Structure 1
């Protein structure tokens, strides 16, 4: 199966603010979800918004056919902490692979859940603490 060449990117119809918002969404998607980020971004936004965001919508934003809606970056900020912790957990698991998966502690042994960080600074501090323990 041969792939069609990608259509040239035309952002000329977007304002400077819309281009910046588009760039923020692209950067977030790549960092949070890796190379196949568009479908994951659509799924995440669907959960956050409570309405379906189709992958085609995300493609239209990225190609510049439609501007990224104004509230999208703010909505992504609400999930960035959760995603950053999930990535840190995956990185930690990968670091110790192929060692056996540790057993889950019993309810009696389980430590009380930590309160999640609320600011970016707290997130960075928590991640740096976890990395230092590696």
Structure 2
């Protein structure tokens, strides 16, 4: 449970980074999909450091293998996030900021499960 709380805390930080970058880029006129990708990358960079060292305590692990797994997990999570975002924008609301909220929640769930069972598995 402690690990899940730590993951949630890091997730909130990453989500904040992603959400802020996404919304700034939208306000600058960028299309939502590109803004989502750039925001997601910003959050992922922060996420790797915190998840590796603090949440999952994988300090002794080989960085190349961890980075590879972490990237794969985040590509999957990004695909899920993007699919939910697309669905919400096209079928639920045209408010791109509101549509990002469920996309973040679903993507975060996928990310936690895959990182726990594969990337940072002890």
- TM-score for both structures, normalised by structure 1: 0.26
Pick the structure with greater CA Rg.
1
Q: Which has the higher helix share?
A: 2
